[in-house]
Amino acid sequence: MDNIGQKVLEVNNLTVTINGNTLLEHIFLEIYEGETLMLFGENGSGKTSLLMTIMGLGPYKIETGSIFFKGKEVTHLPPSERAKMGIGIMFQRPPTIRGLKVREILELIGHNSTDPEELAESLNFGSFLDRDLNLGFSGGEIKRAELLQLLAQKPDLALLDEPESGVDLVSISLVGEAIRKLLEKDVHHRRRKKAGLIISHSGHILDYVEADRGCVLVNKTIWCMGNPHEIIQGIRKQGYKGCLTCQK
Partner 1 sequence: MSDLSEIEERAKKAKEKPAKYGSDIDLEKFTTEAPNYPQQDLGNIDLVDEERLLNAGVDITGKERSGSFIQVDGSVLHAVQTQDGIEVMSTRDALETYPWLQEYLWKIVPVDSDKYTASAELAFQNGYFIRALPGAKSKFPVQACLYLKENKISQNVHNIVIAEEGSELHIVTGCATDSPELRALHIGISEFYIKKNAKITFTMIHNWAENIAVRPRSATRIEEGGVFLNNYVCLHPVESLQLYPTAYMAGRGAVSRFNSIVVGYPGCEMDIGSKGVLSAPEARCEMITRAISTGGKTITRGLLVGEVPDIKAHLECRGLILEGDGEILSIPELDGKVAGVDMSHEAAVGKIAQEEVEYLMARGLTEDEAVATIVRGFMHVDITGLPPVLKEQIDHAIELSEKSLL
Is position 62 an interface residue for partner 1 (rule: CB under 8 A)?
A: no
Which CB atom, from 98 or from 191, has the smaller least distance to partner 1? 98
What one-character-per-residue DSSP string does 89-158 give? EE-SSPPPEEEEEHHHHHHHHTTT-S-HHHHHHHTT-GGGTTSEETTT--HHHHHHHHHHHHHHH--SEE
Q: Which of 67, 109, 158, 160 binds partner 1 (CB under 8 A)?
A: 109
CB 199 within 8 Å of CB 42: no
Shortest CA distance to 198 belongs to which of 187, 188, 189, 207? 207
* Closest distance of CB 97 from partner 1, Å: 6
Stretch that binds partner 1, among 51-59, 119-127, 229-237, 238-246 (CB under 8 A): 51-59
Which residues are CB-neighbours of 89 under 8 A, at least 6 positions away?
51, 52, 55, 57, 150, 158, 159, 160, 161
- Smallest distance, partner 1 to C-beta of residue 160, A: 13
Q: Which stretch binds partner 1 (CB under 8 A): 76-84, 178-186, 218-226, 234-242?
A: 76-84
Least distance CB 104 / partner 1 (angstroms): 8
Our CB check for partner 1 shows the closer of 84 and 189 to be 84
DSSP 11: E
Of the candidates 18, 22, 44, 78, which one interacts with partner 1 according to CB under 8 A?
78
Going from the C-alpha of 156 to that of each of 84, 86, 116, 194, the distances in angstroms are 10, 5, 20, 5
* Among residues 2, 20, 21, 99, the one that binds partner 1 under rule CB under 8 A: 99
Site for partner 1, rule CB under 8 A: 55, 57-58, 78-80, 82-84, 88-89, 91, 94-95, 97-100, 105, 108-109, 132, 149, 153
